[in-house]
Chains A and B, each alone.
Chain A
Amino acid sequence: MNNNSNNRFSTGVDGLDEVLMGGLLPGHTYLLRGGPGTGKTTLGLQFLAAGVSQGEKALYITLEESEASLRKNASRLGLNVEGVEFLDLSPDPEYFSKVESYDIFSPAEVERSPATSAITEAVERIKPARVFIDPLTQFRYLSTDVFQFRKQVLSFLRFLSQQGATVLFSSESSPSLPDEDLQFMADGIIKLDLDEYGRTLTVQKHRGSDFVAGSHCVRLDIGGITVYPKLVPAAYGLKFSPLILSSGLPELDKMLCGGLEHGTVTFISGPSGVGKSTLGMQFIQQAASQGERSVLFSFDEEVGILMRRCESVGIKASEMVEKGMLKLEKIGPLRFTPDEFARWVRREVEEQQTRVVMLDSVSGYRLSMRGRDLVAQLHALTKYLQNMGVVVLLAVEIAHLTGDFRVTDYDISYLADNIVFLRYLEIDGQMKKAIGVLKKRLSDFEKTLREFETTQNGIQIGHPLVNLRGILTGTPSWVHNQPNP
């Protein structure tokens, strides 16, 4: 038996082993539930193919789809089922006329015995480590009553387990023929669903093991099924490290009492075009100068335009990308679910040692992601990044250019450890920009606004604008009789 280090069987499905805390337990039986088109057969094929790739013997018992059709579909998905043994108990084309021609016994009694003999013979001959039965519920029609079905299935599953097999079996349930009885018999239950928001997988039972609860996003495409485990921030956590990321701008560092701490979430709030992305890139540039890698996910702006804008204000984005210190990713609309996106972010952090992550912008994230509970999903993602000691920058767009002071148009302020805001101001008939800090959880901060300007030489931050009044009203006014220091 060829298992992984913690004596589990890999499912062969990327992400599912993580949900199952390492994989399936050897010798156990697992029920795979789901409606038509949810991917049960594909998952079963991947389960068997994974076994074959590890030198195990694998048996596919099909009661519905023919072996030829299954092999063809596996080939289309790019799955290698060369070494998988098939026991094809699906009806052949002659079955229709045969069934019509007898009525002396019930089909249950006529068909069951040959099926049972064929399975017994195949299992004893092949001695498979993995068996997939698709769908086991077909046996319901080979039983004369519910009691017989339950007894036969229990006996069958025990027979397979005794032969040393780990068994996955699918069910086709409907309101008139539910599969609750099978749920009690199985050691584990994996449920696949498909609705308007996409595909999901839920583990409902895993006897003898823990599992990641909840509904996990599933993608089914060439290569088979991929599961994107729901992010559980509490499962991750690094020791708190008091590292601070400087902005590289002495005035801004002074406002922030040194900079932004690792493991904190910073909102860069402001109206459109005020310079949120540029300010974020300023921190990213400083991180790169210290050898720390960053990723910026742009939901609104094309990467080329963003890079050009950075270069025009003296931020060397291309150089950072070339040196591998920065990755800029454009996220197209409705391309990912939050779970898929979170897995991508996780890989950047855990495999690429990314230390700064910027989402540009929160409203872009909300519009681009498919699925439900997007605020909760964003919360989980930022919490995870915090726990991993990453500097998180969230560009938060305000709908109105001026007027009522608001940090965000969404109810997400509670996510922020730090809030840096950018605003348009009118001073003596001229439009200016100002920067301020509204919140800093881990240190003190400067309470005044400063002028904020983006020039071809970079970001310029002026002295504190002590003559401003009514900042939090959203329409500050300038008091002339108090000179700036």
Chain B
Amino acid sequence: MREPSTSRARAQRLDRLMAWIISGGGLLIIAAVLGILVFIASQALPLFRPARSSARATVQVPAAPGAWLDEEGSALTLVEAASGFRTLTLPGGRSLDLPTSGPALPWQTFTPPTARGEVAVLGADNRLAYARFRWEKPNGEKDPARWTPDLTWNGETLVAPGLDRLFQARLIEGSGLGGVPEWRAVGLDAGGGLLHLSGMPDESGTPMAWKPLALPDNDRALAAVWGADGSHLLVGTRQGRLLLLEPENAEPLRAVHTFGEPITALGFALGQVSLLVGGERGSLGAFQVLRQDGRTRLDRLHTFQPMTGAVQGFMPSLRDKRFLAWSDRQVVVDHLTTERRLFQASVEGVRSGMLAARGDLLAVLDANGKLASWNLDAPHPEVSWKTLWGKVHYEGYAQPDHVWQSTGGSDDFEPKLSLVPLLFGTLKGTLFAMLFALPLAVFGALYTSQFASYRLKNTIKPAIEIMAALPSVVLGFIAGLVLAPLFEAAAIQVALLPFTCLAVGLILAPGWARLPRRFRAAWGEGREAVWLLPVLVMGLGLAMALGPWIETTFLRGDFRNWLYQAQGITYDQRNALVVGFAMGFAVIPIIFTISEDALSSVPKALSSASLACGASPWQTAWRVVLPTASPGIFSAIMVGFGRAIGETMIVLMATGNTPVMDWSPFNGMRTLAANIAVETPEAPVHGTLYRVLFLTALLLFALTFLLNTLAELIRQHLRKRYESF
């Protein structure tokens, strides 16, 4: 036999152990539950981290007027008039030879290398050619010693002499006959006059001619570029004007914009839509060419913080809308859309600036061959508080707007991540749902708690609880595949239904009132809801009979055509009304249950006192019970609101999910919750879209948590107040 004391000790040990396990487990669960919030926040917050940069070791290289940096930052390509291309590995400075080809050395003039490593060259033999430089990296090899340089020449053509300085020359792919690239070049003659050239490379040996272009008011061009499609020329002048010219036109000047200071540099951001403009006193701006109503104009998109010194040049990132700009005293990286300065550093005597393709590495080369470079860590420059919530002037748009468009077809597509249309859609859907659900649920609850007989109550409450359990995917399916076509085909009938029911009710009411009082007391009171069933059926019948007649008589036979022609409203099949109806269905039971609880628990003393004073049951319910329970009903509404805000499947299935901002009940919308469901599977992990989606999740979490907590606090307060009775 065991000693009783050991058995007791074991029981106590077990007790302590279990206390420990339960406390630990309980705390763990609670920590996990709160950890959800922390994790979601941790995924979203890096969006707002400021850009960070770190300087790399400065390297001495041969001085050269043009330079291009490899995307790994481990090889530099120098361009010189006397010797052409030369490459260096960094930081060792080992020189690699390049096959000599292309126009004859020494070159008369050449353009600074573009972000893609392209240089246009005018050789001593008056040959113009386009060089594209890149590295062959076998199997993604990181060691530049194993890379081989690859230089290809394109579009070689003989041009007429007379050019002194080349601003820009490029080949427009496939625009000429048979897909042959066409030349577009612009530069200055020795006297500072603007020259341009366009056309296909000449094969016969006759040189292509430079055509002079006179500027208004004897202005002098300081910088010039061809527009992306090669139809217009953008020129910055000494008098501080930005000109839009169509050289092929008899009257070439299309538009003028006064910039305010001599324009010393022009360039494009990624996508060749936004024109970057830099001035002599350091002003920086971005413009777009906008064709509207047959007119062409220059539209100022953005203004950036000014730089120190005269702006010398630009280089865009090939990944997003950030760009590098350098003056003789400073180098900066700005983001086009957010106008945010991601990087700035003061450097004296800069000759050329370089931004690696991914935009995470930049370098400047000065006149003495000193190469300074920095790493730049700015993973989400396109997101700021302003782009998420404010109106943003995007490329191609006439004015600033709220836009959500996260993915596009092309590589240079810019994600537009405004949360306003999504929040708008959420509120719109919720509003329509509440408009539908609120009267049904609150009045239903009032009836159930105050007037329904005990037996009726016992049928209603489980029925409503069952309604709460309906999976939202089933509701969404019914809404999308049954209700949406039904509403479309029988919009008038649906709209008529409340009125016909009311009419039938009013017609029958006097009849009911004439029935013997005893019969009414015995069969009517507490069972009104049951008696109304035939009224509803008759109302439905009347609506169905009247609908087609109204449509043919007043609406020219077809409601949707009438809506469009007479009111200018388009009718989407899956619209806010359908969503409101289906989502209302989902929130009715929630509002009903909580309201009913609040109404039922109003102390009997209050209503008895009211009835004893001679008030009718309705007067008691409306003036005494309802006001007393109003905080409870308010909390019910808030919980319902929270449910509607986060509803996903119904919205996903019953709307077209287009992020438009339009209050029309006949149009669809996209909500925050549906947006998460639609976009998250496609969002690259830890990318900007991924983090923005987590931000919207955080927003939903916070919103519903707030609403529910408030509702709970009100309910607790109410409970305490009722206890005093």
| A and B are partners in one complex rather than unrelated chains | no
Residues on A facing B (Cβ under 8 Å) = none
Residues on B lying within 8 angstroms of A by beta carbon are none
